[in-house]
Structure 1
Amino acid sequence: MMKFLKSTIAVTSLALLLGSAYGSASAAGSNRSAAQSAGATTQTQKSIKAQVDAILLQKKKPGEIYYIYVNDKKYNPGGFAYWGTSYSLPIQNYDEYVQKAGVLKTPFLQLQQAPEGFEFQSAYIGPYKPQTWSIEGQKLSKQIVAEGKASGKTVYVKKVTETRRSVSLTYAERLAFQEKGAYLTITAEPAGEVDPEVDYAPSLAKPEKLDISGQELTYKTGDALIYKTANSTMINNSKGAHYLEWIDSRTRISYTIYASGGKVTKESLAALAEQIIRGQ
């Protein structure tokens, strides 16, 4: 099932947040007043973009999250979109990742051996951002939007220091030169509690439930990733994607294994999950 919010608060990608305003500037019209208006709009857009870019480029300390709210109807038509940017530690060596993860006390995410046919690409350690469908995420969303609207600033920034961590590992399939293979991304983060105000859109097919070492997992691919809503017959069609998700009942850590491209199988993802579950 796919989660939808009854409220319209959502974390939106910065591209969407800024893109809608860029499109509107091109329809200036032929008369002078329209041209002047378009020119003023363009200058406003440039100013907002410059402010946002400066915040994104600003050096952040480990654990810091900057939530950006744009208080402008053209950039943020519904008034509910915002963006979270934070410091993430990129690591190119797996052994170095294990060492840093131990020091920072991140959620457990280790593999005794790389997935067959894949090689390690990178790891990221960053602060945990609550999911918007969780109770904590909904509370934070409402707070950011309310503060942003009340601030009187065109670009409002809320700084948060988070001690909880989120980690991810990325692997790429080893293939001959220029062949396009599969990618695997594995994430681990604290599990949020679902907000009862969240609606669920039904998928065309039910996700499959798996039991691995006493843990219940959910596997989704194909029609299980195509969702129906009242306004759209099919959305979120992730062609060729595979998701294996679970919350460890012992630690309350949420895990997601995402695979795209190549010839990834359910069995290979289950073997990865078993490594993680048994490794703790």
Structure 2
Amino acid sequence: MASETKKGGGIWDTIKTVFYALLIAGVFRTLFFQPFWIPSGSMKDTLLIGDFLFVNKMAYGYSYASCPSVIIPSIGLDIDAADICGWADGDNTRLFGSEPARGDVAVFRHPVSGRDFIKRVVGMPGDSVQMRNGVLHINGTPVQLADGGTFDEIAEPQGPQRLRPRCENGPVGEGGTCSKTRQIETLPGGSTHAILNIATQSSDNTPVYQVPEGHYFMMGDNRDNSSDSRVPNIVGGVGFVPFENLVGRADRVVFSSAGRSMLFFWTWRGDRFFEKID
């Protein structure tokens, strides 16, 4: 009888330990830092496919978007942040809210799909934003651009989704060098970062977008390979991002792997470990 009691107590103690561990992890992820994998090349060369980072949730304060989403398609699990904290959605405010700075790399919830996206904040509330011949104009003034050379990578499938990079130097065979023109862009206020060009396309020339109050205009650094605020969210783009949809700021790459799995140690990019995000 004593052994059965001890066995039952041991199982219960294990359950409690797992429960408290999950609770602490959930609180940590909700209030402080959220892990984020880079799944696509829309932010090259600032962020590469396979970069892993922690998003600083304290940077902008808290809203319904701060609640974690748990999405595991392989087992049919899809718990959205709105399922847990949807009661706080709708007023476009934040607790301990702080406005992002122009040039921040921020994670946010897509206004329609609810999925997490990562882009750069280029347009602030009240700004007018337009692309003219591939140059970003803010409030009618073109941003400063300087030559940044080229960004070169291997033409091969990348990451778990095995995405192939787009190349400015035309069709490139497997294992060849895929190149893109790299420029250094300086936004109003002095934030600088690299942007890439692949080709002349419709997103290089846009209407003038007037950013509403309480919203932000987001763009990818890989300008010709990014679904962002240049396309309204009603037709599959991002559109203007409400303040309450911000999740947090990306400050530093913690880990990076170029392969299909983080377990493939021979594909790790050691030179990107703990790299600061500009």
TM-score range, shorter chain: under 0.3
Q: TM-score, normalised by structure 1?
A: 0.24
Query: When you count helix as a share of all residues, which structure comes out higher?
Result: 1
Higher RCO, 1 vs 2 (CA within 8 Å, ≥6 residues apart): 2
Q: TM-score, normalised by structure 2?
A: 0.24
